Structure 1
Amino acid sequence: MATSKDLAALLLASCLAVTAGNTPLAAQQPQRPNVVFILADNVGYGDLGPYGGGELRGAPTPRIDQLAREGLRLTQFLVEPACTPSRAALMTGRYSIREGLSLILVPDGPNTLSARSVTMGELFKSAGYATAIFGKWHLGKDPQSLPTAHGFDEFYGIPPDMTWDSATYVEKIELTHSLPAPHDVLLSRGPQVIEATAGGELRNVKPFTPEVRANIDDELVEKSIDFMRRQKAAEKPFFLYLPFSMGHIPNLPSSGFKGKSRIGNYGDKLMEGDYHVGQILDALKELGVDENTLLVFASDNGPSGEAFREYGNAGTPDMGSSGPFRGELGEATEGSIRTFCFIRWPGQVKPDTTSYAMFSIMDFFPTFASIIGAKLPSDRPIDGVDQTGVLRGQNETGMRDSLLSFIGGDLVAARWKQWRVYFTDVYPTGIDPQRQPGPGSASAPMAGYPKIFNIEMDPHEDLNVFGLFPFAGEPALKVVGEFLLSVKKFPNPPAPNITQFQNAARKE
């Protein structure tokens, strides 16, 4: 028979249950979410519908428009100047120069992800997540550099030291007769689609040809959905990293999207990528994990521009739009390092919202660590900052007001609030048809003073206002000084360079 004390305890428990049931979802302690990170490749700020592109660019993006309505749109999302640097920053939460990866990785080059690096794969693995990457790694093919050596259970994609245009290598070799070998031999020696599991070796699946390139995103999305389905059946939280090919030259659309846009292959591939984002959104709902999945869709860089326009077909350039900003992939200008980012997390991220908070691609590393309860490495600088407050709408300005930009071994520019400060002058090389911006640019030190632009007053960076607003350089230089102090305590590895060989030629 229940005593009065038992009844009182039961009544108290009932009241607490009712109170918890009435607590707003965002105020409850949520279970650890699944995390899906979709990374586009060289898609510019002005390409997608929610940023003024889409239909106005001749390439509607309805599913991405839907994603924007269902989540948060960042309007000051900042990356590094090129593919490898941005991916290194994303995976480690650190400036790419701290990993020796501040230039685009080239096959058999000297720089590669270190065994000592701690990646996002390891972060999620330490918290009990199943992890997978399907697509482009671009951080090195050495055994210690592979994603499956850094916390990822599964990897399927292109060669981990190459990018999407490697699909054209064999045909370009044959075009120029560079290597005298039969076609089948060149295919067998050329870039391969590969796969691997944790701790295992790379296995070749098939040659990475232009035909395979055109359909690779179909494969990557199919494998992504299968991975999520398997983890749902195993009742295990998952981290899916889907760095697919949308936006990167050569933009070869699959047959279902060929000719769909009004601007050629580039627009066709934007529409195809929009479809694939929709497939992931639909799969999350069908699997019943939609309400507990944090999804990010971002680009690693600003757009390919003039440097790669010849990859287009029928007179249509294979290049994106940086919107109101100046520059393209490979430079340190605003149009190169500012691009799109959407974050969707039902019940935690308020739908149909926009944030102007400065948010770096490095910030996802500590932000995810905070959300899933993982520990950050304590034996190295972490340059990213926890932006959970931005996601949840609790912090309007965010936790960052500055960002440095590196190209190779050079600190070339800094952002402080709305000010861009340049320490070297990056400019296109050559003239007329040989003009090369982007990765083909040259640079020269400033003559003692930096250039300063106010990107809110002057988004295209046409007016150097050093003489009008010299005070803006002081806080930027303070940020530089803090970085240099950290390097004294934690020295950087050798910066990547494939044009200077003094060290290699020096006698022991």
Structure 2
Amino acid sequence: MDRIVQKMLIYGMVMAAVVEMPVLTQAAERIPNVVFILADNVGYGDMGPYGGGELRGAPTPRTDQLAREGLRLTQFLVEPACTPSRAALMTGQYSIRNGLSLVVIEGSPYTLPGRAVTMGELFKNAGYATAAFGKWHLGGAPHSLPTAHGFDEFYGIPPDISWDSATYVDTIELTHSIPAPRQALLARGPQIVEATAGGPLKHIKPFTQEVRADIDNELVAKSIDFMKRHTDAKKPFFLYLPFSMGHIPNLASGQFKGKSRIGNYGDKLMEGDFHVGQIMDTLKELGVENNTILVFASDNGPSGEAFREFGNNGTPDMGSPGPFRGELGEVTEGSIRTFCFIRWPGHVKPGTTSYAMFSIMDFFPTFAAIIGARVPADRPIDGVDQTDVLLGKSDAGHREHLLSFIGADLVAARWKQWRMYFTDIHPTGQGPQRQPGIFSTSAPLAGYPILYNIEMDPHEDLTAGTFGWVTGPLFKTVQEYLESVKKYPNPPSPNITQFRSETR
């Protein structure tokens, strides 16, 4: 009898341990908060850890600290412009799969489809509180708003235009194009807006150049309040902070005006660096620093010659692509390679650098894997899970290739260190009429693509036609994409220069 009792006691103790194990494991491995800060058109050569910062006349001490505390990606690849990159980030798909492979502009019909599944929905369905503060730029239709795609809160500029819309009323007055008093123009012009999940946009105040100069202070203050509220509520949070640092017109707030040695652009770099530090300090003060993935990246390479005239006092309002060529709107290496830092204490090794090819699309499946969320199975997901890169388990990562689109056209492809162009990317016009960047032309090539080796020739000056064997892997990548389109056809591609009256 004693033996039976003894066995029963041992059995009970074992079963109790088994029952408790998942609870203990769950407590020890809480799902992390995620904060994603997205700069706007900041180049590879602008930030301190990439050779910019102090050497660019605009020190970035807090970003330097972030690099020391986390992972620096040196092959972080994006899409050629603001809307395409943001669509790719939010959906884990090439922008063309959602009809957003050109910049959304006011009045055009292109907008994020209602059936798109965004990162907001990914986190919301996993039990997170979600917020987006800043620039959405994926369209203003009701079904395209962040609050229609998983975000509990949104505050920022109109979701179908960008930061330069702060100049609209001033340029209307300058040109006398719309005869109306200033107050009437302000009432009809771009507005700061806000919304909550499922609700309409509410106008808060006119978006003027004065508001533009102070907007990032507002966005960061709202971000801090959001993080505090949900830390107090013991609820995991996903904060998406696409602020204005880097985008023309770079108008710094009073605290940073004149701080850099290179004018408005440098002032805004220093201000953005300060705001990143505010987010870092808040996470520490709230005691959630060790359980938060913090990402700081840029959506594109820099604005260049196309927008330099937004600068004041003779200083160009433009960034640096570092050793590469190109600027916002092109598909050259300097346009689609930019900076990215990832910090996750206890998981991401501090002070590390990865040369793994990492696309902005890869965050979608990577975050899904980390938080245990499901990636949609009814559509192609072009991003790949790069958790092994974050955790230091893989040097090369799980990506070898990337395609680049402009409008309906597949214009370039990357495979490892090789870049191939299917169109001739070149500035239009001559002399003062030269139009680079987003206004450049992509003319079809007559016969053969152009090939470069980015490691041998970072500036893409010398064609690599003698390496003919490279075309095989590149064309295989293209063919795989074309096969996926047969199964999952793309929506109509954006085109804002050709209009047809016939119905289809």
Q: With structure 2 as the length reference, what TM-score do the two structures score?
A: 0.96
Amino acid at match of 2:358: F
Looking at structure 2, the residues matched to 473 and 425 of structure 1 have their Cα atoms a distance apart, in angstroms, of 17
Looking at structure 1, the residues matched to 17 and 120 of structure 2 have their Cα atoms a distance apart, in angstroms, of 42
Task: Kindly report which structure 2 residues correspond to 1:235-274, keeping only aligned pairs within 5 A, or say none.
Answer: 235-274=234-273
For the pair 1:506 / 2:488, whether they are aligned, the reply is no
SS in 1 for 2:296: strand
For the pair 1:457 / 2:453, whether they are aligned, the reply is no
Over residues 194-240 of structure 1, what are the superposed CA-to-partner deviations in whole Å (9 max), with x where a residue is unaligned? 00000000000000000000000000000000001110111110000
Task: Kindly report which structure 2 residues correspond to 1:166-245, keeping only aligned pairs within 5 A, or say none.
Answer: 166-245=165-244
Looking at structure 2, the residues matched to 197 and 366 of structure 1 have their Cα atoms a distance apart, in angstroms, of 26
For the pair 1:62 / 2:61, whether they are aligned, the reply is yes
Task: Kindly report which structure 2 residues correspond to 1:276-315, keeping only aligned pairs within 5 A, or say none.
Answer: 276-315=275-314
Amino acid at match of 1:408: G
SS in 1 for 2:225: helix
Q: Which residue of 2 aligns with 1:410?
A: 409
SS in 2 for 1:505: coil
Amino acid at match of 1:85: P
Aligned residues: 500
CA pair 342-10 structure 1, distance change in 2 beyond 3 A: farther
Looking at structure 1, the residues matched to 172 and 468 of structure 2 have their Cα atoms a distance apart, in angstroms, of 52
Looking at structure 1, the residues matched to 185 and 37 of structure 2 have their Cα atoms a distance apart, in angstroms, of 32
Looking at structure 1, the residues matched to 154 and 503 of structure 2 have their Cα atoms a distance apart, in angstroms, of 41
Over residues 313-364 of structure 1, what are the superposed CA-to-partner deviations in whole Å (9 max), with x where a residue is unaligned? 1000000000000100000000000000000001110110000000000000
Offset at 1:446? 1.0
CA pair 312-80 structure 1, distance change in 2 beyond 3 A: same
Amino acid at match of 2:248: I
Q: Which residue of 2 aligns with 1:421?
A: 420
Q: Which residue of 2 aligns with 1:481?
A: 479
Amino acid at match of 1:470: G
Over residues 377-424 of structure 1, what are the superposed CA-to-partner deviations in whole Å (9 max), with x where a residue is unaligned? 111000000000000001110000000000000000000000000000
SS in 1 for 2:383: coil
Looking at structure 2, the residues matched to 28 and 234 of structure 1 have their Cα atoms a distance apart, in angstroms, of 17
* RMSD of aligned Cα (Å): 2.2
Looking at structure 1, the residues matched to 54 and 430 of structure 2 have their Cα atoms a distance apart, in angstroms, of 34
Q: Which residue of 2 aligns with 1:396?
A: 395
Offset at 1:79? 0.1
Over residues 295-324 of structure 1, what are the superposed CA-to-partner deviations in whole Å (9 max), with x where a residue is unaligned? 110000000000000000100000000000
Offset at 1:30? 2.0
5+ residue gaps, structure 1: none
Looking at structure 2, the residues matched to 320 and 239 of structure 1 have their Cα atoms a distance apart, in angstroms, of 29
For the pair 1:322 / 2:321, whether they are aligned, the reply is yes
Looking at structure 1, the residues matched to 242 and 426 of structure 2 have their Cα atoms a distance apart, in angstroms, of 30
SS in 1 for 2:154: strand
Amino acid at match of 2:502: R
Q: Which residue of 2 aligns with 1:386?
A: 385
Over residues 144-195 of structure 1, what are the superposed CA-to-partner deviations in whole Å (9 max), with x where a residue is unaligned? 0000000000000000001000000010111011111110000000000000
Q: Which residue of 2 aligns with 1:373?
A: 372
Q: Identical aligned pairs, as a percentage? A: 74
Looking at structure 2, the residues matched to 270 and 14 of structure 1 have their Cα atoms a distance apart, in angstroms, of 56
Amino acid at match of 1:498: I
Looking at structure 2, the residues matched to 446 and 82 of structure 1 have their Cα atoms a distance apart, in angstroms, of 22
SS in 1 for 2:211: helix
Looking at structure 1, the residues matched to 494 and 273 of structure 2 have their Cα atoms a distance apart, in angstroms, of 35
Offset at 1:506? 2.5
Looking at structure 1, the residues matched to 493 and 95 of structure 2 have their Cα atoms a distance apart, in angstroms, of 10
SS in 2 for 1:267: helix
5+ residue gaps, structure 2: none
Looking at structure 2, the residues matched to 370 and 128 of structure 1 have their Cα atoms a distance apart, in angstroms, of 15
Offset at 1:98? 0.2
For the pair 1:355 / 2:351, whether they are aligned, the reply is no
Offset at 1:100? 0.1
Over residues 75-125 of structure 1, what are the superposed CA-to-partner deviations in whole Å (9 max), with x where a residue is unaligned? 000000000000000000000000000000000211100001000000001
CA pair 478-186 structure 1, distance change in 2 beyond 3 A: same
SS in 1 for 2:46: coil
Amino acid at match of 2:80: P
Task: Kindly report which structure 2 residues correspond to 1:17-56, keeping only aligned pairs within 5 A, or say none.
Answer: 30-56=29-55
CA pair 507-158 structure 1, distance change in 2 beyond 3 A: closer
SS in 2 for 1:374: coil
Q: Which residue of 1 aligns with 2:141?
A: 142
Looking at structure 2, the residues matched to 201 and 90 of structure 1 have their Cα atoms a distance apart, in angstroms, of 24
